[in-house]
Structure 1
Amino acid sequence: MEEGFEFSRKGKLSPRFTKPYCILKRVGPVTYQLELPPVLDHIHDVFHVSMLRCYYSNPTHIVPVEEIEVRPELTFEEELVQILDHDVKVLRRKFIPLVKVLWRNHSTKEAT
């Protein structure tokens, strides 16, 4: 599987690659035809190897669908589980309260 690049968004902070796509066949010595979804049917499906990156499967990339409740308008709500820590950041003349929060469906490493 190869990862294709992002076609829609432009900008410095936008992701460079999208999800993995299966290779259908090798077209030439340095070109491959990918199996693109119907959403990208306006894109030519043959790519040069310089535009592709090899994808290595990682179990942390898989998100169980049943754990996420997606609303019809394609949004979801995070639920607070526990406040892990709190602190006060002192600037010159300001005091900023900070709180470390554990969210539902996230590990303690992902606490914000």
Structure 2
Amino acid sequence: WVYVKLQPYRQVSLKAHTFQKLAAKFFGPFQIIARVGSVAYTLDLPPNAKVHPTFHISQLKRKLGDHTASVVLPLVRSDDGHVLLAPEAILDRRLIKRHGKPLTQLLIKWFNTAEEDSTWEDYQSFIQQFPSFHP
């Protein structure tokens, strides 16, 4: 069993996101199906993951111990590799001040993510990114 390292800076929901410090870097664990050559392995990925199942060993980290906490592999667009996120619900809204001006933010629950992974998004950016979303 191994974890897969993905590029967190390419996994963005909106263009305004610049802080990737706390983004998950490893996803899994996944079972190894086969060894491909001397430096690559094929993994048993879920069917909804639009990622090629063969990875170089530099992108893998061996699972140690019995702990089974896992990070769900995000759904990825096949064309450019960015995470395909779709809003599921607006959980809350808040008013903050940015540069002395009031700014509305929405707490967004995304499809295929846990509620703990909900993010605060600026209202105007959210409406521009998802104009057809109506909770």
TM-score by length of 1: 0.48
Q: Whose radius of gyration is greater, 1 or 2? A: 1
Higher relative contact order (CA 8 A, sep 6+): 2
TM-score by length of 2: 0.40
